[in-house]
Amino acid sequence: MSHFQPVALHHASRLINHGPTVLVTSAHAGRRNVMAAAWSMPVEFTPPRVAVVIDKKTFTRELAAASGCFGLCIPGLALADFTFAVGSTSGRDEDKFARHGVTPLAGPVLGVPVLETGCAAWMECRLIPERHTEDAYDTCFAEVVSAAADARIFVNGRWAYREDNADVQPIHHLGAGLFVRAGGTVQARGV
């Protein structure tokens, strides 16, 4: 007998969306902002390009469109509350960094706000002008122009998950504020 049951289509994305949750940071004309995004992925190798779903209604989208860039920060377990909070309120009404006592640095290439404390890594991204994004879709494409990671967890281009770096291990959103961190890594045998 099969254990499979139908999944409501509005829940289908949850079957594949628990890659690392990211923080999308942005700034323009004296305003700055941060929001959570569960939907992001790499789409090209060289130059490195990514896709991130940034709802048209968000303040982040407004700032990213105006400045032509945004940051992607990878929060660790210690920032789960912060991540949920900045994904639940809008920066139109308040400076979410100040509200939560979090101080971003300026990225070296684009100057976008990036977070290091509590994060495993960050990237600066230049938005790629795309007619379909402007007209219809929430998906934004961008080129990664600089990146840095905490060497305690990302070394020589590889993740190194250990008991002693649990605080900066990326978190994955399962829905409604429930996060999980990946545990129990398995090294597959080579062919």
Query: Where along the sequence are the contacts to ligand FMN (CB under 6 A)?
Result: 21, 33, 35-39, 53-55, 58-60, 84, 87-92, 138, 173
CB nearer to ligand FMN: pick between 60 and 168:
60
Closest distance to ligand FMN from the beta carbon of 39 (Å)? 3
Whether 32 and 97 have beta carbons less than 8 Å apart is answered as yes
Closest distance to ligand FMN from the beta carbon of 12 (Å)? 15
Closest distance to ligand FMN from the beta carbon of 66 (Å)? 13
* Number of alpha carbons in the 13 Å side-chain half-sphere of residue 167: 7
Locate 157 and state its tokens. 């281009």
Closest distance to ligand FMN from the beta carbon of 156 (Å)? 29
CB nearer to ligand FMN: pick between 121 and 171:
171
Task: Classify residue 164 by burial, with Cβ atoms within 10 Å: 0-12, 13-18, 19+.
Answer: exposed
CB nearer to ligand FMN: pick between 35 and 149:
35
CB nearer to ligand FMN: pick between 84 and 159:
84
Q: E-strand spans in 10-118?
A: 22-28, 31-37, 40-44, 49-53, 69-75, 105-106, 113-114
Q: Which residue is nearest to ligand FMN (CB)?
A: 87
**20: which residues sit within 8 A by CB, 6+ positions away?**
74, 170, 171, 172
CB nearer to ligand FMN: pick between 58 and 133:
58
Compute the chain's Rg from CA coordinates. Answer: 17
Closest distance to ligand FMN from the beta carbon of 129 (Å)? 19
